[in-house]
Amino acid sequence: MGTIVAYSGNQAIAEAMRQINPDVCAAYPITPQTELMQQFASFVADGLVDTELVTVESEHSAMSACVGASAAGGRVMTATSAQGMALMWEIMYCASGLRLPVIMTIVNRALNAPLNIHGDHSDSMGARDSGWIQIYSENAQEAYDNIIQAVRIGEEASVRLPVAVCYDGFIISHSIERMEILEDEEIKGFVGPYQNKFHPLLDVEHPVTYGPVDLQDYYTEHKRQQVEAMQNALPLILRVAEEYKKLSSRGYGYFETYRLEDAEIGMFILNSAAGTAKEVVDELRASGIRAGLLKLRIFRPFPYLEIAAALKHLKVLAIMDRSESFGAMGGPIFNEVRSALLGLEKPPLTFNYIYGLGGREPSLAEIHKVFARGKEVVATGKVEVLHDYLQVRD
């Protein structure tokens, strides 16, 4: 049985971390993640967890300490945002390449320069090839539910990959919402003790080498193993969600569909703006327009077959990116979703909008503009501009 609380996204994650009670947490403060770790640090200080909290001098050190602690055989968690994640970059690849299931919250924030502390997805989207599983969350409840499931997903023997759980800076991290937290004992039972350790360094009876040079003769094989681990994560993500549903009554898949089944015009979106977009879908439905939505939860591994199957009946699909991929053919989500659809016999027409950069909030009216554009494309059967900006002044 859960308890209904009024928590911000950051409080929700701190609370989940208290319940998970990791062995080690190494972190460095950065807006808008700071209050998450501040809250967790107070749990450590109050003796509510057994966690060794390592207060390091930078995010590069934070991720390095996480890698070391995870290789030693500990359950390890951390959190960051934007510039902090950028400074972790090098070691993020070490975590995935060494197959260490570090669990990290990324409170999504725009990357500098120019200096901006607000929510967009340029941090985690930039790290999409770092070998981390990426789970996106619309609100505090989803963030809480996702971080608990992330522990089980990352630590499974067939996967053993680091997992990032993402939610939007400020709009989710600092807004207080009604949500449910489960009982401490329920979470403890769900995550269980860390069992699938793989040759931990602290097993001194069985010495092993971590991180030896890996040249032309073996590197390719180790990368191929990482690809396999990502594939293995796909069915596991659904199994863990099914088990979590028994505990929480909240179901999760690779994505959520909203009034999509009989829709003509769809929107592909993730994180907090999906809430706004659902509202617009309802308004359009009330005026007889067959609008629908797909909100992505799992971006890595990318469930492209399931995505294509869910979207195959649409006439038009608007694909929304809250980060830019400069010089590419549209944003990162656009590229991948459009690719996924190309396998269909009659794929929907697609166009891409970049929105919400640096925390610019997409209003209902802005989302309406996207669907209006979708209606035009249905009428003309043509996409004039593939990659456009929803919210920019000329």
Instruction: Work out which of 46, 57, 217, 261 binds other proteins, going by CB under 8 A.
Output: 217
* 228 touching other proteins, by CB under 8 A: yes
Listed ranges 61-69, 176-184, 199-207, 333-341: which one lies at the site for other proteins (CB under 8 A) = 199-207
Structure tokens belonging to residue 138: 């619309």
Instruction: Work out which of 49, 67, 100, 337 binds other proteins, going by CB under 8 A.
Output: 100
Closest by Cα among 202, 99, 193, 107 to 152? 193
Who's near 214: CB < 8 A, 6+ residues apart? 222
Tokens 């006439």 label which residue? Answer: 315
Residues of span 269-288 touching other proteins by CB under 8 A = none
Q: How far apart are CA 242 and CA 280, in angstroms?
A: 30
Measured from the CB of residue 254, what is the shortest distance to other proteins in angstroms? 24
Q: Do the beta carbons of residue 319 and residue 296 sit within 8 Å?
A: no
Smaller CB distance to other proteins: residue 94 or 310?
94
* 370 touching other proteins, by CB under 8 A: no
Listed ranges 24-32, 79-87, 218-226, 260-268: which one lies at the site for other proteins (CB under 8 A) = 218-226
* 262 touching other proteins, by CB under 8 A: no
Q: How far apart are CA 271 and CA 78, in angstroms?
A: 20
Q: Do the beta carbons of residue 81 and residue 32 sit within 8 Å?
A: yes
Measured from the CB of residue 96, what is the shortest distance to other proteins in angstroms? 9
DSSP 225-280: HHHHHHHHHHHHHHHHHHHHHHHHS----SEEEES-TT-SEEEEEETTHHHHHHHH
* 225 touching other proteins, by CB under 8 A: yes
Measured from the CB of residue 127, what is the shortest distance to other proteins in angstroms? 19
Smaller CB distance to other proteins: residue 89 or 198?
198
* 198 touching other proteins, by CB under 8 A: yes
> SS3 for 126?
helix
Instruction: Work out which of 207, 288, 327, 381 binds other proteins, going by CB under 8 A.
Output: 207
Q: How far apart are CA 390 and CA 388, in angstroms?
A: 7
Measured from the CB of residue 91, what is the shortest distance to other proteins in angstroms? 14
* 77 touching other proteins, by CB under 8 A: no
Q: How far apart are CA 222 and CA 225, in angstroms?
A: 5
Q: How far apart are CA 343 and CA 69, in angstroms?
A: 43
Instruction: Work out which of 109, 118, 121, 160 binds other proteins, going by CB under 8 A.
Output: 160
User: What are the b/e assignments for 117-133, b being 16+ CB within 10 Å?
Assistant: bbbbbbbbbbbbebbbb
Smaller CB distance to other proteins: residue 178 or 199?
199
Query: Which chain residues interact with other proteins by CB under 8 A?
Result: 97-100, 160, 198-199, 206-212, 214, 217-218, 220-222, 224-225, 228-229
